[in-house]
Amino acid sequence: MSLSLIKQPEIAMSLQVNKNSQNRITYSCYFNKSREGEQFVPEHIFSYQIAGTLTLYDGTQEYIFKDGDFRFIKRNNLLKFTKQPPAAGEFKSISIYLDQETLRKISIEYNYSVNHIHDGDSILKLEAHQMFKSYLESLEPYDTLNERGSDELVALKLKEAILILIKTNPELKDILFDFSEPGKIDLEAFMNKNYHFNVTLNHFAYLTGRSLATFKRDFEKIFRTSPSRWLLQRRLKEAYYQIKEKGKKPSEVYLEVGFEDLSHFSFAFKNAFGHAPTKV
């Protein structure tokens, strides 16, 4: 697919519904080496992989997307990602964030509702469709919509994306128009599964269906320690295992277990075990 807006690597398209909102249509492009990270996904995302490879991991399953792949990511999920540019090229992707306010308006306008609760994969690979291609091509003239007075035009493009998704994948209605928030779940099982995601305690609390105060109180009843202390100890324990038993390097492990940077990881590791991770 050839879009004029992606022919210029320096462009970082960012269209906003209003000045107080998060970016709703974003174009990602960068050079050189791969990039890793993780994030909490608060809104549904419809994305197209233009160039390079994107690897996503939701704590259970790994998903790989290459040139020409379309994907749909459900909201309220934790993800680790690796962005790998192609040889001698740039990583390029475009993402449309489908916010709850826009979806609620569409559900009222078209009387859309949920028939079945979707409890399947958090990431869906979508089959390429001509309507997707036409939609992306229609974004070409919108690459400078950071100016005032563009809110209504961007809102129309968001609405169009949602209606196209419903037209091409009717089953997505049960995901798009499910406005329920996470319910109270097994805290111990959730934390043992997701401790390696480096997100805030607020996000952990929200995803387990609790206020931050209730999360901390329930956590200490179960684990007999604070969330911050437990997360540090659990991550270091897993890091030690990965280095000693799996033969991994500290530089390969620190992000995997939930640390932000290598120096912080090395400092915490030495404090816990009495020696640097390179000495294991």
- pLDDT, one tens digit per residue, over 134-180 is 999 888 776 555 566 677 888 899 999 999 999 999 999 999 999 99
- pLDDT, one tens digit per residue, over 220-277 is 999 999 999 999 999 999 999 999 999 999 999 999 999 989 999 999 999 999 999 9
> For 18-26, which contacts have Cβ atoms below 8 Å and span 24 or more sequence positions?
18/151, 21/99, 22/97, 22/99, 23/97, 24/96, 24/97, 24/99, 24/154, 24/158, 25/94, 25/95, 25/96, 25/97, 25/139, 25/142, 25/154, 25/157, 25/158, 26/94, 26/95, 26/97
Mean pLDDT of 35-57: 92
- Tell me if 4-176 shares its fold with 187-279: no
What pLDDT is recorded for position 152?
83
Alpha helix stretches (DSSP H) within the chain: 100-110, 130-138, 151-168, 173-176, 187-194, 201-207, 212-223, 227-244, 250-253, 262-273
Query: Quick one: fold of 187-279?
Result: Arc Repressor Mutant, subunit A (1.10.10)
Q: Give yes or no for residue 14 having a pLDDT over 80.
A: no
Q: Give yes or no for residue 51 having a pLDDT over 90.
A: yes
Binning the chain into helix, strand and coil, the percentages to the nearest 5 are: 40, 20, 40
* Domain 4-176 top-level CATH class: mainly beta
Q: Give yes or no for residue 5 having a pLDDT over 50.
A: no
Asked if 57 and 80 touch (Cβ cutoff 8 Å), the reply is yes
What pLDDT is recorded for position 23?
63
- pLDDT, one tens digit per residue, over 28-44 is 887 666 777 878 999 99
What pLDDT is recorded for position 147?
60
Number of alpha carbons in the 13 Å side-chain half-sphere of residue 251: 0
Closest C-alpha to 14, from 182, 86, 5: 5
Query: What does the block give as tokens for 196?
Result: 């390696």
Number of alpha carbons in the 13 Å side-chain half-sphere of residue 154: 26
Amino acid at 124: L
- pLDDT, one tens digit per residue, over 88-144 is 889 999 999 999 999 999 999 999 989 888 778 999 999 999 999 999 988 877 655
Q: Give yes or no for residue 22 having a pLDDT over 80.
A: no
Asked if 78 and 41 touch (Cβ cutoff 8 Å), the reply is yes
What pLDDT is recorded for position 39?
84
CA–centroid distance for 257 within its chain: 17
What pLDDT is recorded for position 232?
97
What pLDDT is recorded for position 146?
53
Q: Give yes or no for residue 25 having a pLDDT over 90.
A: no
What pLDDT is recorded for position 9?
33
Q: Give yes or no for residue 16 having a pLDDT over 60.
A: no
What pLDDT is recorded for position 34?
73
- pLDDT, one tens digit per residue, over 170-220 is 999 999 999 999 999 999 999 999 999 999 999 999 999 999 999 999 999
Give dist(CA 214, CA 186) in Å, integer: 13
Domain ranges for the chain? 4-176, 187-279
